[in-house]
A and B are shown apart, each in its own frame.
Chain A
């Protein structure tokens, strides 16, 4: 009797374990329902490898429970695609990719190689590791080709190598305002509530800004009895908002977008005034030297929480900083570009409206090129853009005044709700991880949902000139091997020198009197050569 019961228990246990095993697991095979027409259509089986972040609320492993995933599967079904996913946790991903590529075995068909770096991917492609996308999509129905030519031509321009092939596909974003391409800008934000409490008006020049910060400190804007109100800024890099007030570019070399020329802040007219200004800020205690360094992110966040940051550099319409501050009704006001020097028009640091980032490549293991072409036809299509970025009309977004807008409960801030309700748009499940994501967003959406002072600012500054991009690569053609070689031999030492000099000039540790010496040393290190190479790349991009 006892034996019987234990046997039954064991069988039940085994069954339980087996059923449990069935429902878990990080990979899933999407099965295709039999074709209604009864004709056996050719099924394309593809393997996709990508990183997943299982710490997020919206998890890729839960995708079967999301209606938006079902919608995506329908799209795949129409092209007879059967996809097997292999996922690796994000923190391990770069290592696993390296080792996987090194062993060249068990390679998937489509793989996210963003962590490898484009130069390396290109070099590997030349060795035959990756197949050219442009050749593959010839085998499709032309959808992807058309999309790349007409809708997102910048992706082709930026990612085609000198041999005419494009070896990867990327995420793509297009931002428009009033129907035209419009850049998101990064700007100095100042505490609006402090200005109001102290009866100060918004600064209109660099000097007024300095005085406002001085007042914050003197009159204890954060009411804690200590003179600790500060500006968080790293002088090592030029992309910090204030440099742009002096007309300076955003990097050691920077694209002057309107003039289509490469410039270097070190050679621009406002540079010395800029360092004098920074030095004044340091001496007044406004610029907090304990926040220097590229590793200062955590410290800055801490000061933010402690309600000590009177001004910092971020996206004009950001809304994520204020909630973190321990204060009643903190509010940041975007200001600028502020005039700093007579005769120099202040510039704006912008994020290009046409963004292409991330790298998904097709490996040499892919035998079913038609299937891959079909997949890319889906990934680069308007329908996919809607499903990934917006979701389903009526469920996740609505159209207001001809402009898409998320319904309540959808968005970055609502991950818990989206996970609980299983309702979201595709990008939260599979975007920028296993598959690239597309986003065509009118800026009106964000402007209309931002508080008045931010919205007004953005409208004002939408088409401001002159501008410098926060990333040169959006304007430069891919470099040739020789160019890569030369840049690599210059860039580390030049960057070290520039960052170290900039910081020391701001601190007053180095004197402006030795300017000629600094310029000579930077020329030695290859500054002029870097400008030349970037210019060649810029011209190449424009001629495409």
Chain B
């Protein structure tokens, strides 16, 4: 089972939910940090580094002796990463998404591909948790290929928790596509609600069952709760606005370790998710009663 943890708004607690859920999972679990622009699960799950692998995408190299600057490659490329001007063909590797189309359409066979580094993928091991994280190189704008590469390391048969980047655009889609359930973490503020609505539209579009985790309950207002009630969206967990959680977080500690009274809440979240998943996708309102 793959549980994706996502949110519209950033800073709502995706990583907190992911790492604490992993800790109380009870059996071997993988956590995939797909927030490749700022992976931070490793700050809380301090594991031993097992492997670091460079991730690349294929970019075109033009053999000028064969190229007749016909322009077919440039005509194909949506991203303007390759262009023929007059007698020469130029490549802009930083714009290339690595689809390989230019090499396929070149009638002269003048294009071969070579790897361009976009980041690294690290595998760490701690207790029962295998953490696989992507780390995009600074200045690289291509999160989705690295996210897909992180996901390709997923071990089938082992449960996985997937920490997604915030937002509702390509990197998030790349991360949560193919997961069994999405937990959307939000906060009960107008800002949280606004971005939750966007995130709900996104997961509906993808057709993935989803529920909501409301973090920092006590701040803001009750509109997130009302929204979930009206739309019959299950609230999988509520986390109170507890200063001690923020303090533990700021020290890089897991909530369930620093504040053992929260273990049962995260265990309930897991139970709710498993229940929700096995119960035919989302009609039950499994609101946490704690």
- A, B from the same assembly: no
Q: Residues of A with Cβ closer than 8 Å to B?
A: none
Q: Residues of B with Cβ closer than 8 Å to A?
A: none
